[in-house]
Each structure stands twice: as structure tokens, then as C-alpha cells.
Amino acid sequence: MGARMKHYRNRHSPVVRVLAMAVFLLFGTGPGFAEPLTIVASPSVKVPLEALAQAFEQSHPDVHVRIHYDSGLGLRQSLAAMQNSGRYAIGSGPFHLIAPASVDVLNRLESRYYVLPGTRKAYAAVPLVLVVPESLVEAPASFEAFAQDATKKVAIADPELTELGLRTKAFLDGTGLSPILKDRLDVAHDAKGVIDDVMNGDADAGIVFGSDAVRHAGRVRIVASSTDKTHRPVVYFMAMERFCPNRDLCGKFLAFTQTDEAKQALKVLGYGSPPTVRTPQRP
């Protein structure tokens, strides 16, 4: 009996080996087996980061990008706690890159040596755009052309309550359009309010971030966009964590953010290419 069982096992072992090989070939390169690359980021950069992660995974199928979201304050507190404990991990494992929404937060992290100096990359810029109802046939081709029509009102976000409003005010001041439009401003609560006022006829056009306009595609369309010369755009950066477990992989992702492929993935979402920025060096 024992001999027959031994012969049975030996006779089927090649089949078992073939099945095991088939399972490996079919599933061995799937997400569960891919090398993880973890990014710690602010919630407000979720849209561009997830677009970059998806594009990177398509060209690097052996890598699975994970994104852990936390506020700027939460990022600083988490990193401080990690430094004190000596365990640099988020959730179940180590992390590779840090992408806060605020450059000030990244500056502080770099000054405390939480990120490696010289590794930061600007990966997206957020332009201001002029939007009108999608159904409008004739529309101004620039901010200046719109301002010259004394019968038109423009909706903007409240500069005392929102980053969008603050940036819009700075743009209008910097381009000299503030005194021209001062009596024709419709002040809304936020970007959604700007879009709603345009659609409801309370304003003829509105100024929002490019990413806001894309989210409301079908309701409004972009007729003009700010340039680096007329507006200092919001720029998003990321950098390599000090104890990144795979610096080569981190470097590949950072380099990927500078490619045409990455820029195109962000362009369709309303994000622009960052202006050339000199990477700050740690003193």
C-alpha cells in the first residue's frame, strides 16, 4: 500500500509542478506580487497623484503605487513620531515619497531632514482660467477682452475665505484688471459657487482653477487661461523620504513626473506644467 502511494505521488508530482508554474506565470506579476511604492500625501492632491500613479503603473507593471493621505500637520506629526521611535513606516510598511499640498510644509520637512535634500520635483501647476457656459457661442478670447466689455460681470471666489479667491485677487491686481472689474464682481463662496453663479446667469463668466473647470466640464468651458507671466500658479511638489527603502525606485517615479506622458495625464485634468523652479539646497 505504502509503495503504491509513493508511486502515486511520484507519478503526479510533474503535474503539480506544472500547475504551480502556471499559477506563478498567471498571477506572479499581479498587484499582489508587485513591488509597492508608497506615497504619503495631502488629500487635496489626490486627483493629480492618482493620475500619476495609474500612468506609472501602466509603464511599470511590476510596481504597485499606494497613496496614504494625511493633512500637512498630520504629516509633520507622523514624521516626528517616526523619527523619535526609529520606525519609518505608514500603516503596514515603509514609505518612499512625500507629497504635501503646501510647499511650506515641504520646506519645513526638508529643514528637519525628513526628506532628502535635492530630491524634490515640481510635478503639477494649477492655472487660473476664465469659464463661460458651455452653450455660449460667442465668448471673449482673453481675460483682457472680457474686462473691456463694460456690460459683463465676472464671478470670483471670496478672497477672504478661499485660496482660489486669494489667488484670483492677486491675479487681477497683478494684471491691472482689478480697477476695471471692481464694480462688476460677483463674489461667490467657493469654486462651486462661481460655477453655479455663471450657470444661473448671475455672472457672465467666472474665474476658477483649471482643475475645477475640468470637473464641471459639460456645464462650462474654458475660454482663457493664465500664464506664468500673469499669475504665480499653485505648484505641487514631492520629494524622497529620508529613509526611502528603495531609492532607485523613488528616483524612477520622480523622473517619471517630468515626462511628457505624465504631463499629458495631468493636462486632461486641468493641471499645467510647473514653471522652471530651482531645487532648493539644504544649507
pLDDT at 28 over 80: no
pLDDT at 29: 43
Is residue 233 a contact partner of residue 129, using CB atoms and an 8 Å limit? no
Could you tell me the residue ranges of all domains in the chain? 35-124+235-267, 128-225
pLDDT at 232: 80
pLDDT at 20: 38
pLDDT at 281 over 50: no
Q: Considering the chain, what percentage of its residues have pLDDT values greater than 70?
A: 77
pLDDT at 8 over 80: no
- Rounded average pLDDT over 174-202: 96
pLDDT at 153: 97
Q: Tens digits of per-residue pLDDT, 141-177?
A: 999 999 999 999 999 999 999 999 999 999 999 999 9
Please state, in angstroms and rounded to a whole number, the distance separating the CA atoms of residues 253 and 207.
33
How many angstroms from the chain centroid is the CA of residue 122?
A: 10
pLDDT at 4: 43
- Nearest-5° Cα angle at 152, 208 to 231: 35
| CATH of segment(s) 128-225 | 3.40.190.10
Backbone angles phi, psi at 209, to 5 degrees: -75, 150
pLDDT at 280: 45
* pLDDT, mean over the chain: 83
- Sheet containing 97-99: give its strands across: 63-69, 35-41, 97-99, 234-240, 121-126
Crossing angle of helices 260-267 and 46-59, rounded to 10°: 140
pLDDT at 244 over 70: yes
Cross-strand pairs, 236: 124
Q: Tens digits of per-residue pLDDT, 245-254?
A: 999 999 999 9
Question: Confidence class of residue 237 from pLDDT cuts 50, 70 and 90?
Answer: very high
* DSSP element (H, E) containing 126: strand 121-126
- Rounded average pLDDT over 131-136: 94
pLDDT at 243: 86
pLDDT at 149: 93
Evaluate whether 35-124+235-267 and 128-225 have a shared fold.
yes
pLDDT at 60 over 70: yes
pLDDT at 133 over 90: yes
pLDDT at 33 over 70: no
State the pTM of this model: 0.75
Please state, in angstroms and rounded to a whole number, the distance separating the CA atoms of residues 248 and 116.
13
Q: Tens digits of per-residue pLDDT, 73-126?
A: 566 566 656 555 555 444 445 889 999 988 888 998 888 888 898 999 999 999
Pick the CATH number of 35-124+235-267 from 3.40.50.720, 3.20.20.70, 3.40.50.80, 3.40.190.10: 3.40.190.10
pLDDT at 42 over 60: yes
Q: Tens digits of per-residue pLDDT, 205-233?
A: 999 999 999 999 999 999 999 987 777 88
What b/e readout covers 100-109, taking b as 16+ CB neighbours within 10 angstroms? bbbbebbebb
